[in-house]
Amino acid sequence: MRSPRVHRPLSQRLTSRGGAWISLGIVLLIMIAMFGAFGSAKAPAKNEQAPADAESTRVSALLDRFPDADRPSVLIVASRADGAALTAAQREELASLRAALSRGGAADPGRPMVSEDGRAAVLVVPVDAGTTTAESAKAVDTLRTAVREHAPRDLTLQVTGGPAFGADIAAAFDGADLTLLLVTILIVAVLLILTYRSPLLWILPLVVVALADGLAGRVTAAAGAAWGLQFDAGIISVLVFGAGTNYALLLISRYREELHDRADHRIALSVAWRRTAPAILASNVTVVLALLTLVLAVIPGTRGLGISSAIGLLIALAAVLLLLPPLLAVCGRGVFWPFVPRPGAPRRQGTVWRRVASGVTRRPVRALVAGGVLLAVMASGLLGTSIGLDQLGKFRVPTESAAGLEVLSAHFPPGEAQPILVVTKSAHADAVTAAAENTEGVVRATAAGTTDDGALTKVVVTSAYAPSSPRSLSQISALREAVHAVPGADALVGGAVATDVDARAGAQHDLWLIAPVVLAVSFLVLLILLRSLVAPVVLIAVNLASAVAAIGAGAWLSRVLLGQHALDLPVPLLAFLFLVALGIDYTIFLAHRARAESADHGTRQGIVEAVAHTGGVITSAGIVLAGVFAALGVLPLVTLGQLGLIVGVGVVVDTLVVRTVIVPAIFALLGDRVWWPAQLRRAGSDEVRTVAPSEVRA
């Protein structure tokens, strides 16, 4: 008679002698197939800053109907190195440059315009932008080469304007993704070696996470192409490396613990997988759900980042839970060499963390006040913080387009480089032009062409204010009010500055909509995981305070140390999202262990045991995550550098102060009431302790 088939849990299938090899082969085959299927995918290269239904976005769509819409203009700014006025001979040489550029295939730039002070001149040159950012950048590079070849002596020529800024961004990112990947791998490798104190063990999680990152890059590119998503691939790579390494640290840390109690390393690994998988899964689901709230965003880049990042983190989760365990099982206990954990061998029981947690629980009020004061001081950095950088402030590295814009603004009306564009019905073009000219701060307004059917007219408005300055931003509102008032004109105001206005409004909308939703999602996950009402409220409140403190500290450091006068538009929302969502990771790791320990020791001692067992891994994970985000500083955009700084500071404070001092202090003060209305069953006893509502109010 055939014996009944015994169902083995997944943890055993992944770690058993034969199952590990089978699981390893299946997972690797699936990954190879996915690499092949998505290997040629490329995400869209768009970078739309304003909401899809914003007025500036509608203007951009209407401008495509005008002749030569695919030939935007760049500006060649000429000045003398000594700042003196241009001589008559130099002006003649500029006229010769115009002819040379025309012979070289560039469009006729027209006559040079000389500034009122005579110290600068500008040529307006249409370029073939093509259909992609790369084609536009190539056209600008070709023009710059021609300018250098025919540049008049004793004159400095700089190519600036919208397409030139795009070309400089593309050039700044040449090789940047590879640099970011290499720096990230180096940081993770060094930190893993220091954490594991093994020349072998660090290789396994790094290889697994690197494979997950490579696959995530291809799958997210395919998703971006299919769904028209816009996102920054560098941020996704950082998230995959950071979160994936954290998951691996938690699993391997518990595996090391179990190896001290079990002779069979496969059983130890199976137990470790079962005991850590729920926490890893819960933390991943929390972050993924938090990221998916970005689908509510109106800024295209923010919305696309949410979906693509969620895909990347799901791939990281699958790699750590399904690929890393069989690898560890195949390699065996010796992978921890030279400090191989064995039953009966001396082990470190988190002595330092136990002492810290014990001290905190003995004097919880003092610890809580000290931690709260630190967070308050950090949060004070928000005072005086402004949001939104102008075009010059977005670059961490000097560029020709930025330098040319500075020269242009110094000698011409500041709005010359980034004119405001108004599109109106042609029958009302004169009235709209007059309304624009009568708006405060407008230097001139000029009709500049119609669509082929003559229905629409483009009006170019030059402002007296520096682009994206407070007065420039206010002027857009005034100008819109003026041209909207022209009956029947259906006039719309767009251009770079108008796009900035709409982007700021969209970013503010996204922050106030998404931040509460992220907190609600995190609360629900904690509610389900801990089966308590009090603990999730407390932990979310602490997480919120920690996130606000980190943003304040990062804003202050950006101003004082880096000379950046404001945070860029996406930074507050993305920093808040990452700090709250990733902070919940550590909350789950700690609270999940605290609940289990509290059933055996009571909440006060349970939190001490939880900190003793998880303090090392949480700190290691936090330092790794902070280091990975710090790698964003190698990229040329201030936005990414600020995001990396804020999240890095926040994660370090979260792991060293919030999880080590503030949370244990609160748990010690509340005691068993923190788990209300759940029940705690003491180990080795049939006694069930129900936390009463009256105790919660005490």
User: In the chain, pLDDT over 70 holds for what percent of residues?
Assistant: 91
Q: What is the pLDDT of residues 633-688, one digit of tens each?
A: 777 778 888 998 999 999 889 888 998 999 999 999 998 888 888 666 554 444 44
* Count of the separate structural domains present in the chain: 3
Q: Say yes or no: 88 and 14 in one domain.
A: no
Non-local (6+) Cβ contacts of 72 within 8 A are: 126, 127, 129, 161, 162, 163
Model pLDDT, residue 366: 94
CA distance 445 to 461: 4
DSSP secondary structure string, 295-313? Answer: GG-SSHHHHHHHHHHHHHH
Evaluate whether residue 568 is within a structural domain: no
Q: ∠ CA 563-565-567 to the nearest 5 degrees?
A: 110
- Tell me if residue 113 falls in helix, strand or coil: strand
Given pLDDT bands bounded at 50, 70 and 90, which one contains residue 620? confident
CB atoms closer than 10 angstroms to residue 250? 27
As a whole number, mean pLDDT of residues 310-333 equals 94
What does DSSP assign to residue 75?
E
Say which CATH number the domain at 116 has.
Answer: 3.30.70.1430
CA distance 276 to 199: 25
Chosen domain end from 446, 467, 501: 501
Non-local (6+) Cβ contacts of 493 within 8 A are: 55, 56, 59, 420, 421, 422, 476, 479, 480, 483
Evaluate whether residue 329 is within a structural domain: yes
Q: Say yes or no: 231 and 306 in one domain.
A: yes
Model pLDDT, residue 172: 66
Q: Say yes or no: 228 and 326 in one domain.
A: yes
The answer, yes or no, to whether residue 295 has pLDDT greater than 90, is: yes
In three-state form (DSSP H/G/I as H, E/B as E, the rest C), the secondary structure along 420-473 is: EEEEEEHHHHHHHHHHHHCCCCEEEEEEEEECCCCCEEEEEEEECCCCCCHHHH
Model pLDDT, residue 595: 84
Model pLDDT, residue 350: 56
Model pLDDT, residue 21: 93
Evaluate whether residue 35 is within a structural domain: yes
CA distance 254 to 562: 40
CA atoms lying within 13 Å on the CB side of residue 598: 26
Non-local (6+) Cβ contacts of 401 within 8 A are: 158, 159, 160, 161, 164, 165, 167, 168
Model pLDDT, residue 340: 83
The answer, yes or no, to whether residue 4 has pLDDT greater than 70, is: no
Model pLDDT, residue 515: 93
At which residue do the structure tokens 């682009």 appear? 467
What does DSSP assign to residue 232?
-
Least confident of 371-380, 551-560, 606-615: 606-615
CA distance 536 to 11: 29
Model pLDDT, residue 689: 45
Q: At what angle do helices 663-670 and 364-379 cross, to 10 degrees?
A: 140
Phi then psi for 492, rounded to 5 degrees? -130, 145
Q: Say yes or no: 322 and 209 in one domain.
A: yes
CA distance 324 to 322: 6
Model pLDDT, residue 161: 80
Model pLDDT, residue 103: 55
User: CA dist 298 to 223, 229, 501, Å?
Assistant: 19, 12, 14
Evaluate whether residue 550 is within a structural domain: no
Which residue in 580, 585, 609, 578 sits closest to 596, CA to CA? 609
Q: Say yes or no: 86 and 132 in one domain.
A: yes
The answer, yes or no, to whether residue 181 has pLDDT greater than 90, is: no
- Tell me if residue 487 falls in helix, strand or coil: coil
Sign of CA dihedral 658, 568, 49, 237: negative
Given pLDDT bands bounded at 50, 70 and 90, which one contains residue 3? very low
The answer, yes or no, to whether residue 132 has pLDDT greater than 80, is: no
Model pLDDT, residue 368: 94
Non-local (6+) Cβ contacts of 214 within 8 A are: 35
Contact present, 639 and 568 (Cβ < 8 Å): yes
Q: Say yes or no: 431 and 321 in one domain.
A: no
Q: What is the pLDDT of residues 397-444, one digit of tens each?
A: 778 888 888 888 888 888 887 889 999 999 999 999 999 999 999 999
CB atoms closer than 10 angstroms to residue 337? 12
As a whole number, mean pLDDT of residues 60-84 equals 85
Q: Say yes or no: 472 and 414 in one domain.
A: yes
CA distance 94 to 112: 7
Q: Is 224 left (phi over 0), alpha (psi -120 to 50) or beta?
A: alpha
Which domain range does residue 158 map to?
72-172
Model pLDDT, residue 174: 66
What does DSSP assign to residue 397?
S
CA distance 296 to 303: 7
- When the pLDDT of each residue in the chain is averaged and rounded to a whole number, the result is 85
- Tell me if residue 57 falls in helix, strand or coil: helix
The answer, yes or no, to whether residue 545 has pLDDT greater than 50, is: yes
Q: Say yes or no: 27 and 119 in one domain.
A: no
Q: What is the pLDDT of residues 20-58, one digit of tens each?
A: 999 999 999 999 999 999 988 887 766 788 898 999 999
Contact present, 325 and 14 (Cβ < 8 Å): yes
The answer, yes or no, to whether residue 474 has pLDDT greater than 70, is: yes
Q: Say yes or no: 96 and 15 in one domain.
A: no
Model pLDDT, residue 573: 92
Radius of gyration of the chain (CA): 30
Evaluate whether residue 56 is within a structural domain: no
Q: What is the pLDDT of residues 332-369, one digit of tens each?
A: 888 888 888 888 766 655 578 888 889 999 999 999 99
User: In the chain, pLDDT over 90 holds for what percent of residues?
Assistant: 38
Evaluate whether residue 646 is within a structural domain: no
Least confident of 108-117, 118-127, 213-222, 287-296: 108-117
CA distance 588 to 654: 13
Model pLDDT, residue 1: 42
Model pLDDT, residue 503: 94
Evaluate whether residue 259 is within a structural domain: yes
Two structure tokens written together for 248: 């691996």
The answer, yes or no, to whether residue 693 has pLDDT greater than 50, is: no
Q: Say yes or no: 162 and 213 in one domain.
A: no
Given pLDDT bands bounded at 50, 70 and 90, which one contains residue 492? very high
- Tell me if residue 542 falls in helix, strand or coil: helix
Q: What is the pLDDT of residues 442-472, one digit of tens each?
A: 999 999 889 989 999 999 999 999 888 889 9
Q: Say yes or no: 451 and 407 in one domain.
A: yes
Chosen domain end from 477, 501, 525: 501
CA 457 to chain centre: 39
Model pLDDT, residue 195: 77
Q: What is the pLDDT of residues 214-241, one digit of tens each?
A: 999 999 999 998 888 888 888 888 889 8
Q: ∠ CA 636-389-387 to the nearest 5 degrees?
A: 120
In three-state form (DSSP H/G/I as H, E/B as E, the rest C), the secondary structure along 181-204 is: HHHHHHHHHHHHHHHHCCCCCCHH
Given pLDDT bands bounded at 50, 70 and 90, which one contains residue 175? low
Non-local (6+) Cβ contacts of 174 within 8 A are: none
Chosen domain end from 472, 501, 530: 501
Contact present, 165 and 590 (Cβ < 8 Å): no
